[in-house]
């Protein structure tokens, strides 16, 4: 699948709701509309992989009522959006822990994964109960077990093997967007974003729409990505030709 990989930290739901004089959970409800609009827009804007930070492992620290509503919204999204996602060729997968997701939400999520498995237009990845540091630690433990069992030599614990375990074969994000003005990664894709371009939008997630995604992508396409290299000067290029 060619095209860009865009990752989004969907931030600002609670602050948006507070600014509207609404309870925090209404911000999460409004945020689902943003997910729908961005998922619809992504393929038209050249995005082929979209990774959304839906629920971090640290979010369990929030009030139980808010957490419950978040997983209720996840279940409702998986059920209500299923037909449109299938029709639009969207493949949905989840990353993160699954053992703590409430049973009803987990069943709906895994059913959606099965139903959309043939989608080729967009790969929508939902990071749920996700911690990048935990994912890295688990990958290291996997390699360590293989060494302990004699299936892998210590010298074979390479960056490439670790990368495969962490990324599951998905290319690193080209662009990471965080909404609502904050400028931090919050334990999201720490390994994967080593050379990812960062874009911080002042717009809170419930107000984020197609045009905001297009603006971020336009900014991204104006950048020069060097991946640690330095472009050769005209004189250096001439010497290389000679």
At 239 the pLDDT is 63
Q: Is the pLDDT of residue 1 over 90?
A: no
Residue 35 has what pLDDT?
A: 98
Domain contains 146: no
Alpha carbon distance 18, 149 (integer Å)? 54
Domain assignment present for residue 162? The answer is: no
pLDDT value of position 225 = 80
The pLDDT, as a whole number, for residue 230 is 66
Catalytic positions: 11, 59
Range of the domain at 202: 4-131+168-241
Per residue in 26-75, pLDDT tens?
A: 999 999 999 999 999 999 999 999 999 999 999 999 999 999 999 999 99
What is the C-alpha to C-alpha distance for residues 133 and 15, in angstroms, rounded to an integer?
27
Residue 33 lies in a domain: yes
**Which two structure tokens, joined as six digits, stand for 85?**
């996602």
Residue labelled with tokens 């396409």: 221
Residue 213 has pLDDT above 70, yes or no: yes
In a domain, 155, yes or no: no
Q: How confident is the model at residue 226 (pLDDT cuts 50, 70, 90)?
A: confident
Least confident of 38-42, 99-103, 155-159: 155-159
Here the tokens at position 194 are 């080593």
Confirm whether 226 is domain-assigned: yes
Determine the pLDDT at residue 112. Answer: 98
Q: Answer yes or no: is 153 within a domain.
A: no
Number of structural domains, the chain? 1
Question: Does some domain include residue 150?
Answer: no
Is pTM beyond 0.75 here?
yes
Confidence of residue 210 (pLDDT cuts 50, 70, 90): very high
* φ/ψ bin of 82: left (φ > 0), alpha (ψ from -120 to 50), beta (otherwise): alpha
**3-state secondary structure labels for all residues of the chain:** CCCEEEEEECCCHHHHHHHCCCCHHHHHHHHHHHHHHHHHHHHHHCEEEEEEEEEEHHHHHCCHHHHHHHHHHHHHHHHHCHHHHHHCCEEEEEECCCCCCCHHHHHHHHHHHHHCCCCCCEEEEEEEEECHHHHHHHHHHHHHHHHHCCCCCHHHCCHHHHHHHHHCCCCCCCEEEECCCCCCCCCCCCCCCCCCEEEECCCCHHHCCHHHHHHHHHHHHCCCCCCCCCCCCHHHHHHHHC
Mean pLDDT of 80-90: 98
CATH number for position 219: 3.40.1180.10
Q: Is residue 142 part of a domain?
A: no
């Amino acid at each position: 699948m060619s095209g860009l990989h865009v990752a989004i930290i969907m931030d600002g739901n609670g602050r948006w709701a507070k600014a509207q004089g609404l309870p925090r959970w209404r911000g999460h409800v409004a945020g689902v509309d943003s997910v729908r609009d961005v998922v619809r827009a992504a393929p038209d804007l050249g995005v082929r992989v979209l990774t959304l930070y839906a629920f971090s492992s640290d979010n369990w620290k929030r009030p139980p009522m808010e957490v419950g509503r978040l997983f209720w919204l996840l279940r409702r999204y998986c059920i209500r959006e299923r037909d449109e996602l299938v029709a639009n060729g969207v493949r949905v997968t989840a990353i993160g822990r699954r053992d703590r997701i409430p049973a009803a939400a987990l069943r709906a999520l895994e059913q959606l994964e099965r139903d959309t498995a043939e989608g080729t237009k967009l790969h929508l990845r939902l990071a749920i109960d996700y911690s990048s540091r935990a994912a890295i630690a688990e990958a290291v433990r996997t390699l360590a077990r293989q060494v302990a069992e004699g299936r892998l030599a210590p010298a074979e614990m390479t960056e490439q093997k670790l990368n495969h375990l962490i990324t599951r074969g998905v290319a690193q994000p080209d662009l990471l967007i965080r909404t609502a003005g904050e400028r931090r990664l919050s334990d999201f894709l720490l390994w994967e974003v080593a050379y990812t371009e960062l874009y911080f939008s002042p717009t809170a997630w419930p107000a984020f729409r197609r045009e905001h995604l297009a603006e971020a992508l336009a900014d991204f396409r104006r950048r020069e990505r060097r991946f640690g290299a330095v472009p050769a000067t005209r004189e250096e290029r001439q010497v290389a030709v000679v």
